[in-house]
Amino acid sequence: MIRLAKTMLVMGLMSGLCTPIKAINPIVQTKYTTDPAPMVHNDTLYVYTGHDEDNADFFWMQEWRVYSTTDMVNWTDHGSPLAIEDFTWGDDRAWAPQCVERNDKFYFYVPLHSKLSGGMAIGVAVGDTPVGPFKDALGHPLFDNGSWDNIDPTVFVDDNGKAYIYWGNPNIYYAELNDDMISLKGEVKVLEQTVEGFGAPSPDKRNKDTKYKESYVEGPWFYKHGKNYYLLYASGGVPEHISYSMSKKPFGPWKQMGQIMPLSDTRSFTNHSGITEFKGQPYFFYHTGMLPGGGGFARSVAVEPFKYNADGTIPEILPTATGAPAIATFNPYRRVEAETIAWSEGVDTEPNDAVGVYVSDIHNGDYIKVANVDFGKRGAKSFGASLASALRGGTLEVHTDSVKGPLMAKIEVPHTGGWEEWKYFENPTTANVTGIHDVYFVFKGRKGPKLFNFDYWKFE
């Protein structure tokens, strides 16, 4: 669990003009998240991530997680629909994933350590919804040859229905997928890296005395925009920056185009990127170590909006704390999961088979912010929330525009019989709030102990 420092001075390192209240990067503050893989389905943008464990001293990663948004500022935590245990042949290293849709199915490609070969392998799971549940589609790896190169799969379904997969560190492997998305069409090939294509030759042909301007390392992201194919990747060794190459064909020849995100003070010696377009706006996802306690083994996903250059090339993108602006207002007059968060301090999330994901580890002074909430012209008459406490509870206060802003509603939370013994509480609002505001759920109680858990809320 990540407990953010009250001043959050660390965010100022990313943008001197930014204040914590306006920060959106990293987009998740309750967990360390890595290797973002964005996917748009209908009117929702989903991001599939890895999960760095707290206090890790290596890439000890056990599961993959999913987050979604409809407005680019409020993100819903869907928990972990896939983990190492879902693959009987895997036993370690749940590293960078990607999920793609085809024929109303969702295919989740992941690397993990293979018990069969002793190396890394590429697996694929399938689900009926973007948030799962997912299950191993094969019962064995999609590709496993005993090599440690088999990491970071990226998959793209082209306009003509053909599907392609790339992966690898330090070599680049590629193949075409069959229409079933769970088998390879033809053989797996190794892409010949060249100075023109990637800034440096393939690893076995690099001269140790030559300083290459660019050099592919890992983390490929393959996609198409307009008539161009793009391959983004971590480049340059350690620490990594993000570079890219372009081609007119899915398997090249490739031309190295330069850097997208140059080396920056992100506190992470790795970087991993993904690009998607949502409601007409392109977004660049990456990760940093910018949460308190963060670093190379405690990374966090961030996002930046950008515009392609007229010739289809990608501009230089620098990390910020402000991230992406809101593209829609938020409707409070419905059941809203408490794990839908624009920014939070101190809290964590946990899963439950009965209610799904909920907000946990709530202590005195913690808070959750939901941004750009539209109360309309009439305002809300009442506020309700589903809460649980095994101890003496505490107080849930609802403020507008800041943690100390005008009080809008208040609920005294008693002992409910257990941490997952949920009770719904509803009170009249204490102020008539209209129009658009940021809403802060501020938690108060005795200092020290955990106060209560928070499942969902709604205004009437």
Residue 67: CATH number of its domain:
2.115.10.20
- Among 83-87, 118-122, 207-211, 301-305, whose mean pLDDT is lowest? 207-211
Last residue of a domain, one of 305, 327, 356: 305
As a whole number, mean pLDDT of residues 354-382 equals: 98
Total count of domains within the chain = 2
Q: How large is the average pLDDT for residues 361-389?
A: 98
Q: Are residue 206 and residue 91 in the same domain, yes or no?
A: yes
pLDDT per position as a tens digit, 168-182: 999 999 999 999 999
Mean pLDDT computed over every residue of the chain: 95
Residue 103 within any structural domain of the chain: yes
Give the residue among 238, 98, 233, 229 at the shortest CA–CA distance from 171. Answer: 233
Q: Which of 241, 256, 258 is nearest to 201 (CA)?
A: 256
Together in a domain, 186 and 291: yes
Nearest in space to 432 (alpha carbons), one of 382, 379, 377, 376: 379
Residues 114 and 192 in one domain: yes
Q: For residue 253, say if its preceding peptide bond is cis, omega within 30 degrees of 0.
A: yes
The tens digit of pLDDT for each residue in 400-426 reads 999 999 999 999 999 999 999 999 999
* CA-atom Rg of the chain in angstroms: 23
Q: Average the pLDDT over 225-248 and give the result.
A: 97
CB atoms within 10 A of CB 125: 24
Q: Is residue 381 part of a domain?
A: yes
How confident is the model over 112-164, as pLDDT tens digits?
A: 999 999 999 999 999 999 999 999 999 999 999 999 999 999 999 999 999 99
The predicted structure's pLDDT at residue 2: 54
Q: Flag whether pLDDT at 21 surpasses 60.
A: no
Average pLDDT over residues 235-245: 96
In degrees, rounded to 5, the angle at the alpha carbon of residue 153 between the alpha carbons of residues 241 and 140 is 150
Q: What is the pTM of this model?
A: 0.95
In a domain, 329, yes or no: no
Q: Do 352 and 285 belong together in one domain?
A: no
In a domain, 71, yes or no: yes
Q: What is the pLDDT of residues 288-345, one digit of tens each?
A: 999 999 999 999 999 999 999 999 999 999 999 999 999 999 999 999 999 999 999 9
Domain identity same for 286 and 380: no
Pair (434, 356) in one structural domain: yes
Predicted pLDDT at 23: 77
Does the residue 312 lie in any domain? no
**pLDDT tens digits, 272-285:** 999 999 999 999 99
Summarize the confidence of residues 353-368 as an average pLDDT: 97
Last residue of a domain, one of 305, 327, 347: 305
Whether 341 and 301 share a structural domain: no
Same domain, 294 and 362: no
* 290 and 393 part of one domain: no
Q: What is the pLDDT of residue 314?
A: 98
Residue 315 located in a structural domain: no
Whether 15 shows a pLDDT value over 50: the answer reads no
Which residue among 305, 328, 358 closes a domain? 305
Q: How many CB atoms lie within 10 A of CB 333?
A: 12
The answer as to whether 259 is a domain residue is yes
Sequence-separated (6 or more) residues with CB below 8 Å from residue 450: 360, 361, 362, 363, 391
| Co-location of 190 and 256 in the same domain | yes
The CATH number covering residue 441 comes to: 2.60.120.260
Mark whether 101 and 244 lie in a shared domain. Answer: yes
Domain of residue 279, residue span: 24-305
My answer on whether 181 and 57 are in the same domain is yes
Please state, for a pLDDT cut of 70, what percent of the chain lies above it: 95
318 belongs to a structural domain: no
